[in-house]
Amino acid sequence: MTLWLDDFDALEEPATAVLDPAIYVEPKDKSPEDEDSRQATFVATMRRTAKACEVYAVPNGGKRTQWAAAKAKREGMRKGWPDVGIVWADGEARIEFKAGRTMPDDDQVRLLNWLHLRGHAVAVCRTAEGAINWLQGLGAPVPPIR
């Protein structure tokens, strides 16, 4: 049976979602840097150094009015979608960025698991260096951070 993304909400899930152990999760750290700053550092580093990759953000977080939230949902916004996507000639990956001690919420865990089970490369990263090392392991044309 093939499951489509529309079937995602219909799946029976445990009360607390558990991230598949095969998904890479960068170790927690004690840096006070917030998630947005960590993601912005990664995006800037990739755009400056990884010219063979296209990096894009998925603006699915943040506060919105009810009208703006309804509009975004109609346009395809999906709760829990990973923060950043990276595409290169023969591959792609998605990263959920988290601050030092935080972990993905249940919606994020369920969607990361859903993507992983269908063969997509997904990870939870905290630093630009950790994300770049993970991408290099996938074969992405990303130079090391200096």
Domain boundaries, the chain: 21-138
Tokens of 110: 């369920």
H-state helical runs in 85-127: 106-117
> What's the pLDDT at 6?
53
Residue pair 113/20 in contact (Cβ under 8 Å)? The answer is: yes
Tokens of 37: 């700053």
> What's the pLDDT at 146?
74
Class of domain 21-138: alpha beta
Residue among 136, 44, 42 nearest 82 (CA): 42
Cα–Cα distances in angstroms (integers) from residue 37 to residues 6, 66, 67, 69, in the given order? 32, 27, 28, 24
pLDDT tens, per residue, the chain with 146 residues: 444 555 555 455 555 789 999 999 999 999 999 999 999 999 999 999 999 999 999 887 666 677 766 776 776 667 789 999 999 999 999 999 999 999 999 999 999 999 999 999 999 999 999 999 999 999 999 998 87
Tokens of 115: 């993507």
> What's the pLDDT at 77?
65
> What's the pLDDT at 62?
61
